[in-house]
A and B are shown apart, each in its own frame.
Chain A
Amino acid sequence: MKKGYLLTLGMFMVLIIVFALAISFNKSVEISKDRLGIIGISDRVFDLSSSVGNGLIDIIKIYSDFDIVIEENNKINVSFTEEISRVKVDWGISLDEKITEFKDFISSQDKNIKFTTESFDKELPLEITPYNITYSRTWGTGHVTLKVVPQTINFDGFEILINTSQEMISQVNVPNSNPGSFKFIVKAVDNFGTNIVNESNIDPETNNQVHVNLVGGNQVKVTVSNNELEVWTNSPETIITTIKIFGLPVLNKEVAVVYPKIVYNVTFPELNIVKLADIQFM
């Protein structure tokens, strides 16, 4: 009797190994199905997230008179063009309305998308990644200031175009300029044929200024000091400014201008997926 049992037991143990192999194969199949499933779900999340982001960008571009251009060749240039007014309330009236409408529409169509901010901040700031440069605006009584603050000066210079349109330029003067190797270019144009270019190599850590004086006494003051750029105006009329940060080095990362204050989540809690997104102009 004993030997018969031994035979059966021996065979059984060998077969356990075969069965274990089959189970392990089954587990591999399940894991690979999950992996392919995750790739499929990520498509859904990407489509939702990118379409919301693109919608917000389109709204901002259409209703804020704001344009961002990123040029990439041997070096990178990033330009911000906008029409600014010293009256904060006048600026971007329709923008808030449209963003709110869009957010309400999204929320009614898809419960998986949630916004974490209520409105668009007129003062921004925007961030140029991966360079850690911020672009912002502030309004004070009777004036508006655009500001560019780099974490470090690792680019060739600033180029600022001031288009005063209907406001005639009376003169451009340079009250302060300290020599260095950083390029500081200011171009002033109006609708009356004025086209003045002031180009100099400065030390950006010291105080350097170019004043664009307007007929009637108003001004546009362009200042580079402490490595920061400020464009200040008290003009009651809309002025078109283009600020270009040029000569940024090419890094092995995508260049983007990010507005970090409107953040939205795409969540699929049943799948344990949360995607955080902000607005990126690329």
Chain B
Amino acid sequence: MKHRRAQISAFDFILASSVSVIILVLVAATFFLYERKINEFVLYNDLSTKTFQVSDVLIKSEGVPSNWNSTNVNIIGLASEDRVINVDKLNNFIDLSQQEIKDKMATNYDIYFNLTNITGKSIASIGNPPAGIRSVVIKRYVMYKNEEAIMEFGLWE
């Protein structure tokens, strides 16, 4: 009886291809996990940096022009001096729409702003507390009407 010739040994083939498939799946999964992690990191980092920088401008700068209102504002700043919130500027800020604020802050993230006194009583707020997949909220200590106050500012999406 003539034996038919095979191209490969069946056992070797099964073993080698199983191992190869397992390793390839592991590597592919790891690759995609890393890619996701990197993307997440880059997005969170951008959000974080932007939140800190915008909060700095809000509480340290008078804005541009310094007597800005809702019709002529270029850069939103709430301060009359370093970390002293000006009443009129705060009122002007509240009068802006969310979209206007986002445009002036050059961001597509949603905004959360909450000014409270030291005991937690709300003075002014804009937007909702973050409810998305990614958010950064920071606390800044300021003066408002000669009293200590806390400004919470956040960006989220």
Interface residues of A (CB under 8 A from B): 7, 11, 14-15, 17-18, 21-22, 24-25, 28-29, 32, 35-36, 39, 46, 50, 72-73, 250-255
Contact = CB atoms under 8 A, between A and B. Distances in A.
A69 B41 CA distance: 48
Contact of B42 (A21, A22, A28): A28
A222 to B, nearest CB: 30
B66 A73 contact: no
13 contacts: A7-B16, A18-B31, A24-B38, A25-B37, A28-B38, A28-B41, A32-B45, A35-B45, A35-B49, A36-B49, A39-B53, A252-B64, A255-B66
For the complex of A and B, 3 pairs with smallest distance between CB atoms = A72-B67, A32-B45, A25-B38
Nearest to A250: B65
Contact of B49 (A11, A39, A251, A253): A39
Nearest to A54: B82
A interface majority secondary structure? helix
A282 to B, nearest CB: 8
Contacts of B109: none
B35 A21 contact: yes
A256 B20 CA distance: 70
A17 B66 CA distance: 52
A21 B30 CA distance: 10
Contact of A254 (B38, B48, B62): B62
A11 B26 CA distance: 11
Contacts of B66: 72, 254-255
Contact of A21 (B20, B38, B52, B67): B38
A73 to B, nearest CB: 7
B23 interface: yes
Nearest to B19: A7
Contacts of A39: 49, 52-53
Nearest to B62: A254
A69 to B, nearest CB: 14
Contacts of B41: 25, 28-29, 32
Interface string B31-69: 100110110011001001100110000001010111100
Nearest to B53: A39
Contacts of A24: 38
B74 interface: yes
B87 interface: no
A21 B34 contact: yes
A28 B65 CA distance: 37
Given A18-B34, A36-B49, A50-B82, 5 more contacts: A14-B24, A21-B38, A36-B48, A254-B64, A255-B66
Interface in B107-136: none
A225 to B, nearest CB: 32
B27 A18 contact: yes
A25 B41 CA distance: 9
B74 A252 contact: yes
A247 to B, nearest CB: 15
A184 B49 CA distance: 51
A7 B67 contact: no
Contacts of B65: 72, 250-252
Interface string B61-81: 010111100000010000000
Contacts of B52: 36, 39
B1 to A, nearest CB: 30
A215 to B, nearest CB: 43
Nearest to B42: A28
B35 A14 contact: no
A50 B82 CA distance: 9
